[in-house]
Amino acid sequence: SWFDRESRFQGFINDEIFVPDKYIINGDKREISPDYLQWKKSDQLLRGWITGTLSEEVLGLIVGLETSE
């Protein structure tokens, strides 16, 4: 399956990948973490793939969820 080939997403499903801290402190500034931005990008891609395979009944249950978790 595509999921087996896309092993980088398996950690999202089996909880090996955790949400990184959204912010980092850089000197005296608070900035969005590059690790968080990468995680968010991958999470949104995975959510899109999952959403694209769901029936309308099931899709109604997940609309509005913030992450693939």
Structural domain spans, the chain: 19-56
User: pLDDT (tens digit, 9 = 90+) per residue, 11-67?
Assistant: 777 777 788 999 999 999 999 999 999 999 988 888 888 888 888 888 777 777 776
Model pLDDT, residue 40: 92
Give CA–CA dist 22/11, Å, rounded.
18
Model pLDDT, residue 64: 74
Model pLDDT, residue 25: 96
Looking at residue 69, the DSSP 8-state letter turns out to be: -
Give CA–CA dist 17/24, Å, rounded.
19
Model pLDDT, residue 5: 57
Residue 1 has pLDDT above 70, yes or no: no
Model pLDDT, residue 7: 65
Give CA–CA dist 40/20, Å, rounded.
9
